């Protein structure tokens, strides 16, 4: 893997002499109090400004501030005209635009495309304070306000839409967000390394259009530079049905000066199989140690994606997380409660990234699969800061983790193998023999944290990768006996091989082994504790019979889910490529390759959610109908091994049903069609 410049080693910009701001300013009055005549950089975000390292705009802002730049924040501006975007004046260097910690469409709509009534990142939890496709709208308003100021887009919404992507809310393939936002540059992933270098180069007088060598960025080009070798994507992975027109097949080219030509926006829009192939290429070329640049034609221009950034070192991670965060919302919000802040104010991030590779998850696409770790000392110092400075602290650290709870300091045994690897997961279909699964560093961190004076409890709220945890029984013991508050949420997601193989999740046997250890160590400690498993409904590869099997498993094990999660096809995820194409990009993609069952349409999605909530009488009519169609009417009744009763409570009757439905003879077994190649 390449060596990157240490982000703490840059010569600081002149404004470093002004020192850090109590809060990054959100108004001209605050700028004047700081003695600023202008901002160097202005960040526009769809979230309320919370000066806490769990909020992206705070991390980016404080990181740039520590480099000596004056950074202002425009949080949740009224987007209906350009005036609110002039609140801090014209920045000297650039505007940074983000939708916030969540994709704005995921934030506003449920998996069934219903509008949510609330927004956890807004004061008072009020919904509707950000526009749909916030990055595009904000960037357009910034351009209206200051036509000649560079615009850099980033955050998870931009990161996951950096190439042509399937958009679930419009049921079509949209082009790169870089073009729709008319931005000058897109930074993807956790962008500290890119944004620091970019700021210093712009401050030194470089034009943003000339900065084309930054890893972790995307930009627009008219044509391929002469000194680059173009590689047809069909020579990188398994061939799609057609070869993209106009590209050249080249093997053995120098990775540093070669670019992989992906099928164009027009091609992937017209052919879902080519879309699946493009998704496969994107994920194959995702390891910072061996990834090549990618290029995708959109009309008469190319969207060029440089390889992913080099992960931050432990020294750099410590530096980023130890900036002078106030760890609370900006005073402008007064006493208004921001739900997302309330949830994380006593939590500590210890790592980034995930090597699980779950196909429905965006963590790997955004943060990468190489774990970036903080030092134990840095984590302990932050816990002490929370203890000593955060109002309302009762002695309980609510979470100590990251995207996953137990990947801290776990990595490939060989740096050389890690740099050459192109597998999407280190733990599927089994744990890679090259993966060091030693949990001792994490156990040591837990023990040191819980022994701190004034800290009564350190909880691990969720995110435990249980197939990894069972490799270290000592870790499971430490977890169960000291870090669980009665319930531990874990995520098997499914129990049948069909959906599990499309999720890249372990079989239910790994859950069973973890449960045995968890129950044993809980009992040894004299604690009554429970695992709360999470499952996904309507994931690609899931049939009605898979959901029935899961419902029976839930009933057998006494689980009654209060809320259920239906699969939401987020941009750029592998499972989304399955959803759109009906193909499996984890393997060879062609028109003749493996067909994936796709539960599409509201009726099927509701049925699959109903199986997860088999105990809810409102779901009984649809479940009875489904069981009869599936030839499983034997599961209708009041017996211990039956799923739903034959009767319906008064007031919850389905159309055509009385208070008690008469038993019907079992219908002959026949397929219940759930697969649709196109949405209804």
* Interatomic CA distance for residues 592 and 455, integer angstroms: 59
Give me the phi and psi of 577, to 5 degrees please: -60, -40
The answer to whether 478 and 405 have CB atoms below 8 angstroms apart is: no
pLDDT at 238: 47
Q: Percent of the chain, pLDDT > 90?
A: 89
DSSP state of 599: B
Spatial CB neighbours of 558, under 8 Å, sequence gap ≥ 6: none
Residues 478-488: pLDDT tens digits? 999 999 999 99
- Give the angle subtended at the CA of 323 by the CAs of 318 and 324, to the nearest 5°: 145
pLDDT at 116: 95
Strands annotated E in 562-624: 565-566
Partnered with residue 152 across adjacent β-strands are 96, 185
> For 190-219, what is the mean pLDDT?
97
State yes or no: pLDDT of 664 exceeds 70.
no
Residue 189's pLDDT band, with cuts at 50, 70 and 90, is very high
| Sign, Cα dihedral of 369, 372, 376, 380 | negative
> For 17-42, what is the mean pLDDT?
98
State yes or no: pLDDT of 506 exceeds 70.
yes
pLDDT at 674: 26
Give me the phi and psi of 319, to 5 degrees please: -60, -45
Residue 257's pLDDT band, with cuts at 50, 70 and 90, is confident
The mean pLDDT of the chain is: 92
* Interatomic CA distance for residues 295 and 162, integer angstroms: 11
What DSSP string runs through 504-529? T---HHHHHHHHHHHHHHHHHTT---
Residues 602-626: pLDDT tens digits? 999 999 999 999 999 999 999 999 9
Residue 1's pLDDT band, with cuts at 50, 70 and 90, is low
Length of the chain: 680
Residues 528-570: pLDDT tens digits? 999 999 999 999 999 999 999 999 999 999 999 877 899 999 9
Strands annotated E in 527-576: 530-537, 565-566
> For 183-201, what is the mean pLDDT?
97
* Interatomic CA distance for residues 658 and 647, integer angstroms: 8
* Interatomic CA distance for residues 582 and 575, integer angstroms: 10
pLDDT at 236: 73
Residue 653's pLDDT band, with cuts at 50, 70 and 90, is low
Query: Which CATH architecture describes the domain 14-222+300-305?
Result: 3-Layer(aba) Sandwich (3.40)
Spatial CB neighbours of 213, under 8 Å, sequence gap ≥ 6: 306
Residues 67-84: pLDDT tens digits? 999 999 999 999 999 999
Enter the tokens of residue 364: 């790997």
* Interatomic CA distance for residues 347 and 458, integer angstroms: 9
* Interatomic CA distance for residues 139 and 85, integer angstroms: 10
pLDDT at 658: 36
The answer to whether 98 and 51 have CB atoms below 8 angstroms apart is: no
State yes or no: pLDDT of 179 exceeds 90.
yes
* Interatomic CA distance for residues 527 and 506, integer angstroms: 28
CATH 3.40.50.2300 domain span(s) along the chain: 14-222+300-305
State yes or no: pLDDT of 672 exceeds 50.
no
pLDDT at 250: 41
Distance of CA 202 to CAs 41, 92, 152, 207, Å?
11, 9, 12, 6
> For 347-352, what is the mean pLDDT?
97
Distance of CA 141 to CAs 28, 84, 95, 562, Å?
19, 9, 11, 41
Residue 676's pLDDT band, with cuts at 50, 70 and 90, is very low
> For 364-379, what is the mean pLDDT?
94
State yes or no: pLDDT of 241 exceeds 50.
no
- Count Cβ atoms within 10 A of the Cβ of residue 218 and give its class: 0-12 exposed, 13-18 middle, 19 or more buried: buried
DSSP state of 217: E
Residue 29's pLDDT band, with cuts at 50, 70 and 90, is very high
State yes or no: pLDDT of 386 exceeds 50.
yes
Enter the tokens of residue 335: 């006493």
Give me the phi and psi of 645, to 5 degrees please: -75, 165
Enter the tokens of residue 627: 């069981």
């Amino acid at each position: 893997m390449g060596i990157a410049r240490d982000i703490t080693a840059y010569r600081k910009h002149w404004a470093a002499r002004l020192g850090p701001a109590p809060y990054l300013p959100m108004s001209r009055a605050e700028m004047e109090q700081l003695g600023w005549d202008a901002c160097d950089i202005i960040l526009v975000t769809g979230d309320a400004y919370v000066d806490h390292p769990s909020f992206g705009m705070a991390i980016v802002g404080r990181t740039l501030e520590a480099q000596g730049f004056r950074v202002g924040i425009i949080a949740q501006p009224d987007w209906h005209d350009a005036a609110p975007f002039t609140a801090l004046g014209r920045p000297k260097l650039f505007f940074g635009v983000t939708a916030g910690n969540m994709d704005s469409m995921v934030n506003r709509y449920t998996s069934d495309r219903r509008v949510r009534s609330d927004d956890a990142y807004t004061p008072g939890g009020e919904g509707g304070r950000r526009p749909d496709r916030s990055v595009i709208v904000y960037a357009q308003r910034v351009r209206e306000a200051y036509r000649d100021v560079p615009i850099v887009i980033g955050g998870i919404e931009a990161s996951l839409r950096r190439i042509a992507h399937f958009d679930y809310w419009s049921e079509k393939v949209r082009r790169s967000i870089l073009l729709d936002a008319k931005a000058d540059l897109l930074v993807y992933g956790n962008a500290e390394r890119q944004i620091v270098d970019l700021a210093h180069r712009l401050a030194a007088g470089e034009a943003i259009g000339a900065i084309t060598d930054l890893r972790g960025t995307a930009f627009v080009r008219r044509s391929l530079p002469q000194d680059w070798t173009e590689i047809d994507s069909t020579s990188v992975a398994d061939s799609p049905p057609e070869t993209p027109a106009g590209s050249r097949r080249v093997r053995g080219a120098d990775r540093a000066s070669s670019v992989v030509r992906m099928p164009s926006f027009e091609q992937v829009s017209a052919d879902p199989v080519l879309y699946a192939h493009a998704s496969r290429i994107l994920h194959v070329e995702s390891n910072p140690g061996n990834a090549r640049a990618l290029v995708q034609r959109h009309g008469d221009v190319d969207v060029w994606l440089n390889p992913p950034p080099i992960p931050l070192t432990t020294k750099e991670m410590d530096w980023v997380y130890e900036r002078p965060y106030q760890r609370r919302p900006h005073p402008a919000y007064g006493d208004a409660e921001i739900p997302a802040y309330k949830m994380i104010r006593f939590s500590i991030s210890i790592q980034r990234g995930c090597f699980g590779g779950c196909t429905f998850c965006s963590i790997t696409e955004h943060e990468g699969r190489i774990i970036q770790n903080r030092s134990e000392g840095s984590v302990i110092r932050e816990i002490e800061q929370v203890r000593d400075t955060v109002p309302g602290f009762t002695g309980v650290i609510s979470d100590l983790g990251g995207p996953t709870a137990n990947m801290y300091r776990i990595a490939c045994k060989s740096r050389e193998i890690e740099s050459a690897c192109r597998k999407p997961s280190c733990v599927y279909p089994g744990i890679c023999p090259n993966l060091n699964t030693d949990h001792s560093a994490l156990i040591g961190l837990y023990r040191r944290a819980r022994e701190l004076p004034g800290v009564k409890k350190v909880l691990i709220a969720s995110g435990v990768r249980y197939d990894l945890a069972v490799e270290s029984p000592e870790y499971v013991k430490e977890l169960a006996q000291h870090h669980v508050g009665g319930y531990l949420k874990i995520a098997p997601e499914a129990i049948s091989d069909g959906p599990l193989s499309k999720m890249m999740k372990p079989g239910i046997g790994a859950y069973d082994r973890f449960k045995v250890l968890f129950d044993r160590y809980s009992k040894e400690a004299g604690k009554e504790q429970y695992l709360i498993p999470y499952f996904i409904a309507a994931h690609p590869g899931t049939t009605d019979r898979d959901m029935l099997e899961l419902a029976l498993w839930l009933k057998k094990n006494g689980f009654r889910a209060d809320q259920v999660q239906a699969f939401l096809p987020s941009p750029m995820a592998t499972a989304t490529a399955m959803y759109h194409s009906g193909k499996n990009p984890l393997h060879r993609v062609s028109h003749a390759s493996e067909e994936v069952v796709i539960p599409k349409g509201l009726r099927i999605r509701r049925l699959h959610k109903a199986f997860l909530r088999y105990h809810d009488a409102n779901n009984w009519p649809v479940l009875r109908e489904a069981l009869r169609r599936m030839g499983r009417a034997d599961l209708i009744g009041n017996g211990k091994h039956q799923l739903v009763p034959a009767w319906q409570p008064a007031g919850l009757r389905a159309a055509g049903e009385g208070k008690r439905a008469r038993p019907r003879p079992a219908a002959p077994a026949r397929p219940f069609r759930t697969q649709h190649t196109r949405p209804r």
